[in-house]
Amino acid sequence: MNIQYLFENVDVSARTREYIEKRFSGIEKLIEERDIKSTFIEVEIDKDKRGMYRVEVMVKSPGNMYRSEETSETIEGSVDIVNDELKRQIREEKEKLTTLHKRGARSIKKKMVIDENARF
């Protein structure tokens, strides 16, 4: 998984970068193993005139893209909220696919005809 940074009007310390990488390492667990190497995370951090930090993160994996944005007084606070939102989005997508798969299996099972003379 590759992480790309874009900082505008902000100097980010190495400690903050480590914090960001640590928080987004949990996303690896939710993404399927075959997609981890080709997944990109783009982190954009900038500071506005009021002193608020805006953190925008896009997770691009094959076939899917997840995006979240948050503005708060600290970089860490924004990263936490964005991370939770991205995890929620990924979880919902996985549950949606699982549900569709189960519904398809149920419909096939309903349409299946078993001979009355069959022995089980």
Q: pTM, whole model, 2 decimals?
A: 0.82
Contacts of 89-98 spanning 24+ positions with Cβ under 8 A: 90/27, 90/30, 90/31, 90/59, 90/66, 91/30, 93/64, 93/66, 94/30
pLDDT digits (tens, 9 = 90+) for 97-116: 999 999 998 898 888 877 78
Residue 116 domain flag: no
Closest-CA residue to 72 (of 50, 44, 43): 50
Residue 119 domain flag: no
Domain of residue 45, residue span: 2-111
Residue 31 scores a pLDDT above 80? yes
Residue 24 domain flag: yes
Residue 117 domain flag: no
pLDDT digits (tens, 9 = 90+) for 57-87: 999 988 889 999 999 999 999 999 999 999 9
Closest-CA residue to 68 (of 77, 116, 78): 78
Residue 99 domain flag: yes
Give the chain's domain count. Answer: 1
pLDDT score, position 1: 75
Q: Write the CATH number for 30.
A: 3.30.160.100
